[in-house]
Copies of this chain bind each other. A is one copy, B any other.
Amino acid sequence: MVRTLEYPKKPQNTVKRYNRTYDLGAIHSIINTTSVLHVSFAPSADDPFPAILPMIGVMGSYEYPSSGIDEPLDCYLHGYVSSRIMRVARESEKGLALCVAATKVDGIVLSLTPNSHSYNYRSAVLQGYAKPVEKDDEKVYAMQLITNKVVSGRWDNTRVPPDNVEMTSTTILKVKIETGSGKIRQGEPHDEAKDLNRDEVTERVWTGVVPVYEALEAPVPNATNKVKEVPAYLESHVSQTNNGNREAALNAVKEP
């Protein structure tokens, strides 16, 4: 029996255009393959503006570490969060209400008229309550997930475990997800008959898609680096990331 888990549809995550998804697997995959997430929260009751921080994040389950990507997971976040925010997250019973967004651009979609221009993209938004991870075991679990998200296999190839100073100075936020949704735009530009039927327009305006992807260059060793060759796990992370990202951008050109 195949189960597909979905986030509940609520007014605030009811996506109105393009292909919407509430599928846990699709949403978690976008979060896990996006380098930098954008995390929003209300800094204080008297500040009218929400804040946004760029953070690194990954989906995981410390309670059920063997959970698949399409099962209920928490979002672990790492990045500089002010001590004021951490205090709010720690002291409030539910945690800090926040929104996590990830967007991967797959292409520039160029139609006859600029008003139908678009991007091919995959985006995911999660909303939930964040608390700092307090247990050392869970903190190490999350650090390992985050490190291996940035470069697959990196954790085992670094100096670990973190020492006491590092454990104290590093804060990981754990977001209990309340709701989530995704948006995916794929395919060619769509023009209307009013433009497609005008030769003086179609003979002049190029239409199509420029594929876009995040590319990794060859690793550049540090002045203090003593490992002569780029290790296999790193070579393979670079080539697999490039191939996967490029393929996703090229596949997105075709109508799904």
Q: Which residues of A pack against B, CB within 8 Å? A: 12, 16-17, 35-36, 38, 40-43, 47-52, 54, 56, 80, 82, 97-101, 103, 105, 108, 110-115, 117, 119, 121, 123, 125, 127, 143-144, 147, 150-151, 154-155, 157-160, 162-163, 166, 169-170, 178-179, 183, 188-189, 191, 194-196, 198, 201-217, 219-227, 230-231, 234, 238, 246, 249-250, 253
Contacts and interface: CB of A to CB of B under 8 A. Distances in A.
B49 A12 contact: yes
A206 B229 CA distance: 8
Nearest to A245: B215
Nearest to A115: B166
B224 A206 contact: no
B35 A38 contact: no
Chain copies in complex: 2
B230 A150 contact: no
B207 A221 contact: yes
A241 to B, nearest CB: 9
B98 A49 contact: yes
Contacts of A212: 35, 214-217
A39 to B, nearest CB: 9
Nearest to A212: B216
A158 B205 contact: yes
Nearest to A104: B36
26 contacts: A35-B105, A36-B105, A38-B40, A40-B40, A42-B42, A54-B103, A108-B150, A110-B151, A113-B162, A114-B154, A114-B158, A114-B160, A114-B162, A117-B150, A151-B210, A159-B195, A159-B201, A188-B222, A191-B224, A196-B224, A206-B221, A206-B230, A206-B231, A208-B219, A210-B219, A213-B217
Contacts of A108: 150-151, 216
Nearest to A200: B159
A13 to B, nearest CB: 9
